[in-house]
Amino acid sequence: MRVMERAYQHLLVDLSDRVAIIRLNRPEVLNALNLALVDELVDTLERLDRDDAVRCIVLTGNERAFAAGADIMEMAEAGVVEMKRRNQFRVWDRIRWITKPIIAAVNGYALGGGCELAMACDLIIAGENARFGQPEVNLGVMPGAGGTQRLTRLVGKARALEILLTGDPITAEEAYRIGLVNRVVPTEACLDEALRLARRIAEKPPMAVRLIKEAVYKALDTTLQDGMEYERNCFYLLFATEDKAEGMRAFLEKRRPSFKGR
Ligand code: DAK
């Protein structure tokens, strides 16, 4: 495992087998997402996205919390002008444009902005002790980083509204049942399971992985017909890659392909 040489304030970042691991690191406040952490996280995601040594990213917290939400201390005294001036959501939106797959490994609390951060990732592996929720309503506000939008798309109107209107957290099992997470594993196995999945994806041809991710997000944003055309053009594009030639040749030669990302 290579510790990525760089000074981080609120993150720990490692690289192993072409998988980057980002750990949120404000354990004293259950990884509450302050402005500095979100800035550092998004900058780091963008840097890893440009790094050819990285093919997949795992984002995690600790056993007690993935993240218990935006930092309430930082918002408590802020008025509307200050919140608008901070323009926090513009930073957050940049996560959407990361081209490499991001897997959230969630143990403990994933609440408010923490749940929104997990949903902004592409896949979620949950430990048995994970708790997902959008408790903003209990603070007199509402989600502001995708809680009403992504959650509704993921689990449907009725379930989303119950979670959003009560503010009550749901268990990992329930999150699995309603399609919010990919799978539930024992708490201590959560990161390993996410890494195992990430390493499998890291072996795949990077350009195909990238275009599959792009096309799936397109499906959430467009009509079926436009999405089908988008998919087809992505498919054709892959015929320009060396990895397509390698993948098909390896199949015909009955050997494992070795993808180069070209
Ligand atoms: N912010 C700041 N500090 C927090 C925090 C938070 N969200 N959550 C926990 N902490 C701190 C606690 O204040 C406590 O600090 P000390 O008292 O030790 O100094 C420490 O973490 C341990 O927490 P507890 O003592 O409360 O631990 P418990 O096990 O008793 O309870 C809990 C755990 C998770 C049930 C509880 O801490 C809790 O209810 N936390 C708040 C959860 C919450 O309401 N989350 C939603 C926040 S609003 C944005 C993106 C999103 C948003 C806004 C902007 N951008 C795009 C930038 C969304 C808004 C939110 O997320």
Is pLDDT at 5 greater than 80 in this prediction? no
Residue 119, SS3 per DSSP: helix
User: 55 is written with which tokens?
Assistant: 């093919």
As a whole-number percent, the residues of the chain with pLDDT over 90 amount to 94
Residues labelled as active-site residues? 70, 113, 116, 136
Residue 123 to residue 173: CA distance in whole angstroms:
16
The pLDDT-based confidence of 184 (bands split at 50, 70, 90) is: very high
Task: State which amino acid sits at residue 3.
Answer: V
| Pocket of ligand 1 contains residue 164 by CB under 6 Å | no
- The residue nearest atom 39 of ligand 1, judged by CA position, is 68
Ligand 1 pocket mutation, candidates 25, 28, 29, 131, criterion most atoms within 8 A of CB: 29
| Pocket of ligand 1 contains residue 73 by CB under 6 Å | yes
Residue 5 to residue 23: CA distance in whole angstroms:
15
Length of the chain in terms of residues written: 262
- The residue nearest atom 3 of ligand 1, judged by CA position, is 29
Mean pLDDT of 156-185: 98
Q: What is the DSSP letter of 70?
A: B
The pLDDT-based confidence of 89 (bands split at 50, 70, 90) is: confident
| Pocket of ligand 1 contains residue 259 by CB under 6 Å | no
- Ligand 1 centre to CA of 244 (Å) is 47
* Start-to-end CA span in the chain (Å): 25
**What pLDDT does residue 76 have?**
95
**What pLDDT does residue 158 have?**
98
Mean pLDDT of 7-26: 97
The pLDDT-based confidence of 4 (bands split at 50, 70, 90) is: low
**With contact defined as beta carbons under 8 Å apart, do 124 and 102 qualify?**
no
Helices marked H in the chain: 35-50, 72-76, 80-86, 88-93, 113-120, 150-155, 157-166, 172-177, 190-202, 206-221, 224-238, 242-252
pLDDT tens profile 43-52:
999 999 999 9
User: 13 is written with which tokens?
Assistant: 């970042």
**What pLDDT does residue 6 have?**
75
Task: State which amino acid sits at residue 190.
Answer: C
Is pLDDT at 3 greater than 70 in this prediction? no
The pTM of the full predicted model, rounded to 2 decimals, is 0.96
Q: What is the DSSP letter of 204?
A: S
- Ligand 1 centre to CA of 26 (Å) is 11
Half-sphere exposure of 200 (CA within 13 A, CB side): 6
Residue 111 to residue 161: CA distance in whole angstroms:
15
